[in-house]
Amino acid sequence: MQRKRYFFYVALAMVLLGCKEKYPVYSSFCEESGSSALPCLHYAVYNPKDKAAIEQAFGMKDTPECEYRVELTKYHVSNCNNPVVKSIGSDFDGYVRLEIKKGFKCYYKVQSDYKNDAEAAFERVLKQSKKEVKLKKD
């Protein structure tokens, strides 16, 4: 009886620990001016739920006339038409990328891959960008 209980808990721990995605988050400032605080942000995100989540993470209201534009890309590999990817598969199902552009030039970008959970990748990207991007608070 004791042995069965032990194997049950070990199996349960393996399942619970094995389900968490551990993809890294890649981020960088595209220019040397990455240390300056941003005065405003314009959220060019079409999904209202995603836009609200980004706005809440940064804590800055949308300013449509601002030169700093926030863009979100959620890419699914299943949309890829590459025959190699279709024949052998991929290590991940897609990626989530958040970019801040000043005009048409990149200011900051952050990206994370995911296997099954796009929302977890989105949360990782928001958490990383919140830590790194400095905003001027009024």
Does residue 17 lie within any of the structural domains? no
pTM: 0.73
72 falls within a domain:
yes
Does a structural domain hold residue 111? yes
> How many angstroms separate the CA atoms of 25 and 129, rounded?
10
**Residue 3 resides in a domain:** no
What averages of pLDDT result for each successive group of 10 residues across the chain (138 residues)? 63 55 79 75 94 93 93 79 56 86 91 88 92 77
Tokens of 80: 């890829």
* Gap between the Cα atoms of 58 and 12, Å rounded: 37
11 part of a folded domain = no
The structural domain count of the chain equals 1
